[in-house]
Amino acid sequence: MLRFLTAGESHGPQLTVVIDGVPAGLRLDARRDIDIDLERRQRGHGRGKRQQIERDSAQFTSGVRGGRTLGSPITLVVANRDWENWKGPMQVDDRDFKAKRVTRVRPGHADLAGALKYGFDDARNVLERASARETAARVAVGAVARALLRTIGVDLHSYVQRIGEVALTEPTGGDVDWSAVEASPVRCPEGDASRRMVEAIDAARDAGDTLGGTAYVVARGVPAGLGSYVQWDRRLDGLVAQALCSIPSVKGVEIGAAVCAARSRGSTVHDVPRFDAGRGFHHLTNRQGGMTGGVSNGEDVWALVHFKPISTLLQPLRSVDMATGEEINAHYERSDVCVVPAGAVVAEAMLAWVVAVAATEKFGGDTLSEFRSAARAHRRAVQRLR
Ligand SMILES: Cc1cc2nc3c(=O)[nH]c(=O)nc-3n(C[C@H](O)[C@H](O)[C@H](O)COP(=O)(O)O)c2cc1C
């Protein structure tokens, strides 16, 4: 069984990840396989000063030898460069420790809810871990999942479909120019929309405000038969939704063109199956996001991920001081203006993880060759008429 844990505070020395259950024999190289995605997460018009400080890079500390996984737990770390500036406030021991308490809790952040939950009088204890800095660790995990999936012909992509009011036509799962996405400052495949998205972000920044939006995320080449309809918690669509919704600031996940379908008649939204000798079973359209009854149906698995505008505003929102109960301006902590382009990369990582978990559940294997052989045999089997 594949599983992972992340650890680390936003301004602590490092992020740490433990990944268990990766088959032995998978080629992994931190620079080639992980840093590339960490760098993609750092990019995007609308990111704040923190990204100028960090140069995220992963280092394996267990589970990989001579460039191949050992089947033992993989540990990797990503250093926080900013820790140099926070050694005092983030020190571990209590010798001469002087906490500068954060009590002016920020609306839309975990500050107050977390302080109430854990009984803290200092919201820094909450925000250090609730911070989306943790998503760098998840991107590293996703990169390992992606490397595993690549061996069975699955790849992942994302693009930004909307920032604020600027939107591309809603996708229905077709072809996209992925090199244009990677070249765009907002991860948008279309030049004119890209430019208007950049302008919208700049205008929000000038007004001391923030913007949200929507990302399209897709896993291509997913074999039919991952997930299951037999129990609620094995449905792949439910697992995908949970994983994507767990990304900080994601407040909605659509599997395929769900909202559009909700507005339409049944006669126009369903994906009709066909069989031919060349392609085997397939569907004429893919509006359902590649999953039917909680099972992958052989089409690309795709979703739309909706991000709220981030809540730390240069013009701070009104809030409450949790020490005095007074109404005040919220604490300002250095912040991004729009995180949708970076969030799209995190969404790829989470989708990669869920598909990798479902694939290892289906194909098993202590070794990569066992995993790949089972996947190959399964692909052949699902091509045949029943
Ligand atoms: C990549 C990424 C970067 C983020 N950066 C910021 C930020 O700089 N400022 C901010 O207020 N929120 C930021 N967020 C969102 C907050 O982490 C999130 O809104 C907060 O933790 C509360 O969680 P919730 O919105 O899911 O309820 C970011 C989210 C992501 C995915």
| Predicted pLDDT at 98 | 86
Report how far residue 146's alpha carbon sits from residue 221's, in angstroms, rounded to the nearest whole number.
12
Instruction: Tell me the backbone φ, ψ of residue 60, rounded to 5 degrees.
Output: -75, 135
In this prediction, residues 300-311 reach a mean pLDDT of: 97
Both tokens of 174, joined, read 């077709």
Q: Among 86-90, 152-156, 340-344, which stretch is predicted with the lowest mean pLDDT? A: 86-90
- pLDDT at res. 179: 96
Q: How far is the CA of 132 from the centre of ligand 1 (A)?
A: 5
Spatial distance between the Cα atoms of 379 and 36, rounded to a whole number of angstroms: 30
Amino acid 173: pLDDT: 66
Confidence band (pLDDT; 50, 70, 90) for 331? Answer: confident
* Residue 314 confidence class, pLDDT cut points 50, 70, 90: confident
343 vs 164, 197, 216, 295, 335, CA distance in Å?
15, 15, 10, 26, 15
- Tokens, residue 205: 């920044």
Distance 249 CA to ligand 1 centre (A): 5
Q: Measured between alpha carbons, how far is 38 from 211 in angstroms, rounded to an integer?
A: 22
Of 249, 307, 340, best ligand 1 pocket probe by most atoms within 8 Å of the beta carbon: 249
**Which has the higher per-residue pLDDT, 171 or 125?**
125
pLDDT of residue 206: 94
First to last CA, the chain: 30
Could you tell me if 318 and 328 are in contact, meaning their C-beta atoms sit under 8 angstroms apart? yes
CA of 335 to the centre of ligand 1 (A): 9
Q: Which atom of ligand 1 approaches the CA of 250 most closely?
A: 26
> At the fourth CATH level, which superfamily is domain 3-382?
Chorismate synthase AroC (3.60.150.10)
Ligand 1 atom 23, closest CA: 248
Cα gap 193→215, rounded to integer Å: 14
Q: Is the pLDDT of residue 86 over 70?
A: yes
**336 CA: nearest ligand 1 atom:** 8
- Examine the pLDDT at 129 and tell me if it is beyond 80: yes
- HSE, CB side, 13 Å, CA atoms: give it for residue 164: 21
Residue-wise pLDDT for 232-267, tens only, equals 999 999 999 999 999 999 999 999 999 999 999 999
- Pick from 11, 37, 336 the residue to mutate for probing ligand 1's pocket: most ligand atoms within 8 Å of its CB: 336
Residues enclosing ligand 1, CB less than 6 A? 48, 108-110, 130-132, 135, 247-249, 308, 310-312, 335-336, 339, 342-343, 346
Domain locations in the chain as residue ranges: 3-382
Give the Cα separation of 161 and 152 in Å (integer).
28
Protein residue with its CA nearest to atom 27 in ligand 1: 249
Site of tokens 């893919």:
286
Tell me the two tokens of residue 131: 């911070």
Q: Is 90 exceeded by the pLDDT of residue 332? A: no
CA angle 150, 176, 383 (to 5 degrees): 50
- pLDDT for the residue numbered 153: 98
- Residue 3's φ and ψ, nearest 5 degrees, are -150, 160
Q: Report which secondary-structure segment, H or E, holds 217.
A: strand 213-220
Tokens of 342: 């970076």
Strand partners, 332: none
CA of 311 to the centre of ligand 1 (A): 7
Q: What is the pLDDT of residue 370?
A: 98
Mean pLDDT of the chain: 96
Cα-flanking dihedrals φ and ψ of residue 372, to 5°?
A: -70, -40
Provide the pLDDT for residue 316: 87
Model confidence at 49: pLDDT above 90: no
Contact residues for 282 (Cβ-Cβ < 8 A; gap 6+): 273, 274, 275, 276, 298, 299
Query: Residue 25 pLDDT more than 90?
Result: yes
Residue with CA at minimum distance from ligand 1 atom 31: 343
State which amino acid sits at residue 110.
A
Atom of ligand 1 nearest to the CA of 47: 8
Contact at 8 Å (CB) between 176 and 189?
Answer: yes
CA 364 / ligand 1 centre spacing (Å): 35
Q: Which atom of ligand 1 is nearest to the CA of 132?
A: 17
Does residue 319 register a pLDDT over 70?
yes
3-class secondary-structure state, position 312? coil
Question: Model confidence at 335, in pLDDT bands (50, 70, 90)?
Answer: confident
Classify 223 in phi/psi space as left (phi over 0), alpha (psi -120 to 50) or beta: beta
* pLDDT of res. 303: 98
DSSP state letters, 153-173: T-EEEEEEEEETTEEPPPP-S
Q: What percent of the chain has pLDDT over 70?
A: 99
Q: State the number of CA atoms in the 13 A half-sphere of 335 facing the CB.
A: 22
Looking at residue 169, its pLDDT comes to 86
Which amino acid residue places its CA nearest to atom 28 of ligand 1?
132
Least confident range of 67-81, 91-105, 166-180, 299-313:
166-180
- The answer on pLDDT for 269 being more than 70 is yes
Q: Which atom of ligand 1 is nearest to the CA of 311?
A: 11
- Give the residue from 276, 331, 327 showing the smallest Cα distance to 105: 331
